Structure 1
Amino acid sequence: MTRLVPTLPARLRRVALLLALAACSSPVWAAPPTDSDINRLLAASRAQTMLDAALPQIEAMQQQQFQQATAQRQLTAQQQEQLQRIQARTTQTLRQALSWQQLRPMYVDLYKKTFSKEDVLAMAEFYESPAGQSLLDKTPALMQNVMVAIQTRMQPLITDLQKDLEAIVNEPEKK
């Protein structure tokens, strides 16, 4: 009985120490990344270059939306001029809103909220490695191949859907 009394506090101390160590190693207590850490990752992952490459695609989609909106309409010269001004203003607004100067602070903030310093440094090291650079180099081709594969997979579904729609449209009305 007398042996249990001295060992009980030692066991409690060990349990308390283990709990303290576990709490310190949890993500809640992980060190946040610094702006410098995140800037390193953004540079290594070519975030600005990817954003700059996406901008023309976004502008092309915007241009296509304008064309679709006016495709069935006969516009006067004045209306076409107004439309061109709106398109130019929209493009300028889009470029400004999606500029790296505007988005970099958002990226930094979101990375700080999402990742620990350890995460950010590990990702930066990966993207700085030959394997990471190879991934970045090949990602555009991968995405292009994914889009082609999705379109190929979707084509039979779209064809079936068109057949179903035609059947409904061409079906005589039931009274």
Structure 2
Amino acid sequence: MSRSVLRTRLPRLLLATGLLLASIAPALAAAPTDADINRLLAASRAQNMLDSMLPQMEAMQAQQFAQLTANQQLSDDQKARVQRIQQRTSQTLREALSWSQMRPMYVELYKQSFSKEDVLAMAEFYESAAGQSLLDKTPTLMQNLMVAIQQKMTPLLVNLQKDLEQITSEPAK
């Protein structure tokens, strides 16, 4: 090879090699261990956050059931059946979102999504004063968010209730 060809191709080859190495570097990052993720989950109060969301979700669910059946003339049997469905739905929600069910999913998703360095940096943040302040204020944020979502859902539930009323007022075919 001539020197001029080598001079033109070498920078391109080095650039291509550098780009290739840069693109695979994230894939080579160290994976977090279960202990790293457990530290993050503890520091971020993940279990407490999940546990505090359940009563709010159940309250929203109860309110939705109440709204859907508010203008219905239900027999005692129908009311009891609706109540059983609501209780079963609540129990299913509690079981599905229990920490014992969710923790393994958290660990696996964190392993898939973050490097060890990411997890450790997040754990350090949540262990800091700023991180603790964020965690302290998050329940209020979530409560405000739930109220906003409920306000957004109310017109949709009104339409659903109208549809239910129309169906129940139609003669049986």
Scaled by the length of structure 1, the TM-score of the pair is 0.69
Q: Taking every aligned residue pair, what percent have the same amino acid on both sides? A: 66
Q: Match for residue 69 of structure 2?
A: 70
Q: Match for residue 120 of structure 1?
A: 119
Tell whether the 8 Å contact from 1:23 to 1:29 is kept in structure 2 after alignment.
no
Distance 2:20 2:29 in 1: 12
- Using a 3 Å threshold, how does the CA distance of structure 1 residues 129 and 30 change in structure 2: closer, same or farther? same
Q: Match for residue 103 of structure 1?
A: 102
Mapping of residues 1-175 of structure 1, within 5 Å: 15=14, 19=18, 22-23=21-22, 26-144=25-143
- Using a 3 Å threshold, how does the CA distance of structure 1 residues 91 and 69 change in structure 2: closer, same or farther? same
Q: Match for residue 163 of structure 2?
A: none
Deviations 1:28-71 (A, max 9, x none): 21111111111110110001100111101110111112112211
Distance 2:91 2:143 in 1: 27
Question: How many residues matched?
Answer: 145
- Using a 3 Å threshold, how does the CA distance of structure 1 residues 66 and 52 change in structure 2: closer, same or farther? same
Q: Where does structure 2 lack aligned partners over 5 or more consecutive residues? A: 156-173
- Give, as a single letter, the amino acid of the residue that structure 2 aligns with 1:30: A
Distance 1:87 1:143 in 2: 23
- Give, as a single letter, the amino acid of the residue that structure 1 aligns with 2:91: Q
Deviations 1:79-130 (A, max 9, x none): 1111211111111111001111111111111111111010000000111112
- Using a 3 Å threshold, how does the CA distance of structure 1 residues 73 and 144 change in structure 2: closer, same or farther? closer
Distance 1:24 1:146 in 2: 38
Deviation at 1:145, TM superposition (A): 5.9
Distance 1:99 1:144 in 2: 20
Q: Match for residue 164 of structure 2?
A: none
Distance 1:21 1:86 in 2: 56
Q: Where does structure 1 lack aligned partners over 5 or more consecutive residues? A: 159-175
- Using a 3 Å threshold, how does the CA distance of structure 1 residues 81 and 144 change in structure 2: closer, same or farther? closer
- Give, as a single letter, the amino acid of the residue that structure 2 aligns with 1:112: K
Deviation at 1:23, TM superposition (A): 4.2
Deviation at 1:76, TM superposition (A): 1.1
Q: Bigger radius of gyration, 1 or 2?
A: 1
Q: Over aligned residues, Cα RMSD in angstroms?
A: 3.2
- Give, as a single letter, the amino acid of the residue that structure 2 aligns with 1:78: D
- Give, as a single letter, the amino acid of the residue that structure 2 aligns with 1:89: R
Distance 2:117 2:20 in 1: 18
